[in-house]
Structure 1
Amino acid sequence: MPYHWITPPRAARQEMRLWPHQSLPPRGFAGFILATFILILIPVLALLGTVLLWGLLPFVLMAVGGIYYALRRNRHARQIEEILTLDADQARLSQRAPDGSLKTWQCNRYWVTVHKYEEDGPVPHYVTLRGEGREVEIGAFLSEEERIALFEDLQRHLRP
């Protein structure tokens, strides 16, 4: 699961860290780019020694460069982190965006409620925290099953 409780379940101050799933580690990224380059070059090998090779080579390099750029952008966009802190009397959610900006929300823990929108949210099983007149999303980047588990987990931990 791309979330876990940092502190023990019965501690006075509990912290949960959430992050998006990263399916391509750096080593896999390098391997994928290399494999793509080699597979694209296989048909080009027949053109060795001809003028057509020099005509196709820039397009091969642009294709590999485009894949590299797209994968780097995707990895950067997935650098999201959310930290939910539950004290005896306060609940606080900090969301760090890929650009480094930080959004925080806090509320009296007694008034915090967890809501799950089955189909009305931007994603199925959309989970939000509501309190002090505001409603904030939590874990929107998780998979559907993970959001269901997160909802049940938050309900257990937020009960007095």
Structure 2
Amino acid sequence: MPYQWLDQDGTRLLHARPHRSLPRTGFVWFIGITAGLLSLPLIALLGSVLMWALLPFMLAAIAAVWWAIERSYRSGTSFEVLRLTRDRIGLTRHDPGQPDRHWQANPYWIRAEIRPGPVERYLVLTGDHKTGREIELGAFLTPEERSALQTELNRELARLRD
């Protein structure tokens, strides 16, 4: 699971992060194989002017693939930390290039719910009657992971109320 529960000095912590299916070594292999396959047609054109006409386009294609995967890696550095104690629940979301966003509430009133939203099985924390805010949790998780997290989080919140 791309999220895990930890205990730290009486605080229950949830760390959630996006799943990375292509590790850095796989990225190197992918770029190398892509460059090799794109250069195969150039072998037949060695020594001709046509090779120099095609080369910039092939290099641009490799550069575009490199840029797209690197951008995906940067967006994959997002993470969320949920701190859960008997008297306070706090959520911090870190996105690259943006300031961290923080939210706090009394956990007695909070519950995790699945709602219709911009993604399938949209998971929100709701129930803070003072502000009426709903906070999205785990937007980068799969629908199945959001459902599992909802069950686990409601179990943790119920345990605190006892």
Instruction: Quickly name the TM-score band, shorter chain normalised.
Output: over 0.9
- 1:47 maps to 45
Q: CA deviation at 1:12?
A: 3.1
Distance 2:93 2:144 in 1: 21
Aligned partner (choices 118, 125, 130) of residue 129 of structure 1: 125
- 2:111 maps to 113
Contact 1:12 1:88 in 2 (8 A): no
Deviation sequence 1:50-97 (CA, Å, 0-9, x none):
111111111110000010011111111121110000011100000001
RMSD: 1.3
**Residue-pair matches, total:** 156
TM-score calculated relative to the size of structure 1: 0.93
Mapping of residues 17-96 of structure 1, within 5 Å:
17-96=15-94
1:6 aligned onto 2:2: no
Which runs of 4 or more aligned residues in structure 1 lie more than 3 Å from their structure 2 counterparts after TM superposition?
A: none
One-letter code of the match for 1:6? Answer: L
TM-score calculated relative to the size of structure 2: 0.92
One-letter code of the match for 1:76? Answer: R
Give the secondary-structure state (helix, strand or coil) at the position aligned to 1:98. coil
Give the secondary-structure state (helix, strand or coil) at the position aligned to 1:139. coil
- 2:157 maps to 158
Q: CA deviation at 1:128?
A: 0.5
One-letter code of the match for 1:135? Answer: E
- 1:143 maps to 142
